[in-house]
C-alpha cells in the first residue's frame, strides 16, 4: 500500500529569501538595542568631586575682608565637557555668571574657590582657579556661613544640567 503523496511547498528560492529577510531583521533589532544602550551610557555625564580642604579659615574670624580657600579635586570621566554652574557650602549658595567648563577626560584637576569673608562668616567668592589658571568667572552669592576651624561643612557642586555632587570638607586654620 504505497501511496504517493503529492504535496507542494514553497520553492527553495523563496525559502532562502525569507530566511535572509528574517536574519537581516534580527541583526537590525540587535544593533538598535546595543547602540541604544551604548548611546545612553555615553550621554550620562558625571563628575567626581573630592574635597581636599578648606584652608585659612581662622583668618576669616580674625580680620575683616579676608579669604579662605575651598579646594576640590574634580574629575570628568565622561566623553563630553560638563559645565559647573555654582556651589553651596553650608548656608552659602553661589551661582557663577557663566559655567565653569570641566573638559571631557579630566582626571583630578584642582578647583580652588577663594571665599571672601568678614566678621567670622563666609560671604562670597573672590576668585576661582581651575588648575593653576585663574578663571574670569564671577559668582553671585546669597546667604552666609559661619567660619570656624575644625568644623565639618557639607556642600555640593551644581552642574548646568541641574545635577548636584555632594562633598564634605573640614575647615582648617
Question: Can you tell me the distance from the alpha carbon of 102 to that of 137, in angstroms, rounded to the nearest whole number?
Answer: 13
State the pLDDT at residue 127.
Answer: 92
- Pick the more confident residue, 4 or 36: 36
Question: Can you tell me the distance from the alpha carbon of 2 to that of 111, in angstroms, rounded to the nearest whole number?
Answer: 91
Asked whether the predicted pLDDT for residue 140 surpasses 60, the reply is yes
27-54 core/surface letters (b: 16 or more CB in 10 A; e: else): eeeeeeeeeeeeeeeeeebebebebebb
Report if pTM > 0.85: no
Question: Can you tell me the distance from the alpha carbon of 73 to that of 71, in angstroms, rounded to the nearest whole number?
Answer: 7
Say if CB 109 and CB 77 are below 8 A apart. Answer: no
Asked whether the predicted pLDDT for residue 141 surpasses 60, the reply is yes
Alpha helix positions (H), the chain:
12-43, 57-62
- Pick the more confident residue, 123 or 44: 123
Asked whether the predicted pLDDT for residue 4 surpasses 70, the reply is no
Question: Can you tell me the distance from the alpha carbon of 86 to that of 96, in angstroms, rounded to the nearest whole number?
Answer: 5
pLDDT tens, position by position, 61-107: 666 678 999 999 999 998 899 999 999 999 999 999 999 999 999 99
Amino acid at each position: 500500500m504505497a501511496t504517493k503523496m503529492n504535496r507542494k511547498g514553497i520553492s527553495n528560492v523563496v525559502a532562502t529569501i525569507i530566511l535572509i529577510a528574517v536574519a537581516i531583521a534580527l541583526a537590525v533589532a540587535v544593533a538598535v538595542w546595543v547602540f541604544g544602550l551604548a548611546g545612553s551610557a555615553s550621554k550620562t555625564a558625571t563628575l567626581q568631586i573630592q574635597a581636599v580642604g578648606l584652608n585659612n579659615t581662622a583668618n576669616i574670624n580674625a580680620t575683616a575682608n579676608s579669604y579662605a580657600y575651598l579646594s576640590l579635586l574634580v574629575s570628568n570621566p565622561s566623553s563630553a565637557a560638563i559645565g559647573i554652574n555654582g556651589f553651596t557650602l553650608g548656608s552659602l549658595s553661589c551661582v557663577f555668571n557663566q559655567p565653569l567648563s570641566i573638559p571631557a577626560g579630566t582626571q583630578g584637576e584642582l578647583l580652588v574657590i577663594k571665599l571672601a569673608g568678614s566678621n567670622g562668616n563666609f560671604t562670597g567668592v573672590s576668585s576661582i582657579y581651575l588648575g593653576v589658571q585663574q578663571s574670569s568667572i564671577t559668582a553671585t552669592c546669597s546667604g552666609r556661613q559661619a567660619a570656624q576651624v575644625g568644623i565639618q561643612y557639607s556642600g555640593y557642586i551644581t552642574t548646568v544640567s541641574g545635577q548636584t555632587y555632594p562633598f564634605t570638607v573640614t575647615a582648617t586654620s
